[in-house]
Amino acid sequence: MFLVNQAMVDLNVGTAGLVAVLGYAVVFVGLIALMAVIIVVGKIMVARKSKEAAPAAAPAPVAAPKPVLAAAAPGTAGEVKLFDVADKEAAMLMAIVANKLGKPLNELRFKSIKEVK
């Protein structure tokens, strides 16, 4: 039997239990320390992200009211609901999808486009 220390060869039950409990305690203390480090780093990253987002949100221009849209052009599939996406970006996305599918844009129907943050 190979053991690091000769004193560990003849252990009684109480000493073996103490060694086991101390081993478990070391593992759990390490896990708790790792959890604390992850929580602290997460809070730092959230604070840094909110600091960067705050100046960008301040100079938001006032949105002009949208003009009333006329009837849909022939060959269109209706309206598209846009959530946090500019009209230009939505048009670009629809054109890319139509190109990748190899179908004309008027044969595709887009129900909504939402930016994933």
Quote the tokens at residue 8.
Answer: 């560990």
Say how many domains are in the chain: 2
Query: Is residue 42 assigned to a domain?
Result: yes
Strand runs labelled E in 47-94: 81-83
Q: Is residue 71 part of a domain?
A: no
- Residue 66 belongs to a domain: no
Please check whether residue 64 lies inside any domain of the structure.
no
Q: Do the domain assignments include residue 16?
A: yes
Is the model's pTM score more than 0.75?
no
Q: Which domain holds residue 23?
A: 11-57
Residues 87 and 53 in one domain: no
Partners of 83 in the β-ladder: 114
Q: What is the pLDDT of residue 79?
A: 82
- Average pLDDT per run of 10 along the chain, which is 117 residues long? 67 90 97 98 91 64 62 64 89 91 85 86
The answer to whether residue 85 is domain-embedded is yes
57, 73, 94: which is the final residue of a domain? 57
Pinpoint the alpha helices (H) of 4-107. 13-57, 87-101
* Predicted pLDDT of residue 107: 82
What local confidence, expressed as pLDDT, does residue 77 receive?
64
